[in-house]
Amino acid sequence: MAKLGILFPGQGAQYPGMGHGWGRVHENAPRLLEEASVILGYDLAAILVCEDGRLDDTLYAQPATVVASLMAFASLTEATAVHPAAFAGFSLGEYTALAASKAFSTSDVITLVKTRAEAMREAATEKPGAMCAVIGLSPEVVDAICQAASVNGGFVTAANFNCPGQIVLSGDAQAIASAIELARTAGAKRCVALNVSGAFHSPFMQKAADRMTVALQPIQVQSPSAPVYANVTARPYGQNDWKSLLPRQMVSPVLFERTIGNMIADGITHFLEIGPGMVLSGFVRKISLDHPIVNLERPEQLEHVKGWLHEYGFYK
């Protein structure tokens, strides 16, 4: 039996103009923008189209990416009444998954993401860091590189396990620079320094994680419409896991490759990435060529996605 998994992108996928046009497809899209703007305290619609660099600021990138993804998801579900069998998100995208699955209300998710963005930006300012992507080395070799680079007070750790042969490292700038040189010496195909303001998914974010622990306490959690897979465990959230795993996510690696593997093992046969960019689609194809995936980020793609869903029996 075919089962559909929905994936939502994280920070880094954002670009000016994302989310544009969904208001012409789904009447709730403008309402979502208005609701988000009230919660955030600024005009999110203006941020989505700005080209002045604000979208690259964590403070704006996180809420904008979540809302753009939710507008696309709402438009799809209104047009198709599709029922996903599972949800997952990459880092920030996990919050989008929580809203899409109705585990958390949309307003609560926007409120939490506002806090998350502020907390991560503050932590990155107080304790600057860096990140890099290492291509073509095994996890064992990368672990040895992290240990070798974490000397003389430096620190570097694996932050994202994206797909076979692609691991992102996080830590202080000097240790990251050392890790890049060590990775090249070890035969890495590529080493790419990432344009980020902090050492995300590392202990450098502990203060932000502590703030999220407090922010999550009053949130009401409902049973999700389908399992939501956690970045920290690569397994579906349990009934009482939400408020402990979401703060841990900020200081722990994103186990995306393992998550997709577990979703496949649990019966997911097809994937749909919803939101800006196609990064997760690329990761899934590197994890498995036997599990079709399509992405939905712009309104003009909706008819194609509807046809794809119909072809595989998800939409009649």
Residue appearing with tokens 């809420």: 63
Of the residues 69, 101, 201, 270, only one is catalytic, namely 201
Q: Which residue type sits at 55?
A: L
| Two structure tokens written together for 116 | 């998350």
Residues 6 or more apart whose Cβ sits within 8 Å of residue 270: 2, 3, 4, 5, 291, 292, 293, 312, 314
Which residue, among 159, 155, 153, 152, has the nearest Cα to 132 in the 3D structure?
Answer: 159
Contact 210, 181 (CB under 8 A): no
Of the residues 37, 69, 75, 91, only one is catalytic, namely 91
User: Does residue 91 have an active-site annotation?
Assistant: yes
**Residues found in the chain:** 316
Beta-sheet pairing, 156-163 with 293-296: unpaired
User: Does residue 201 have an active-site annotation?
Assistant: yes
Edge-to-edge strand order for the sheet containing 130-135?
156-163, 166-171, 130-135, 190-193
- Residues annotated as catalytic (active site), given as ranges: 91, 201
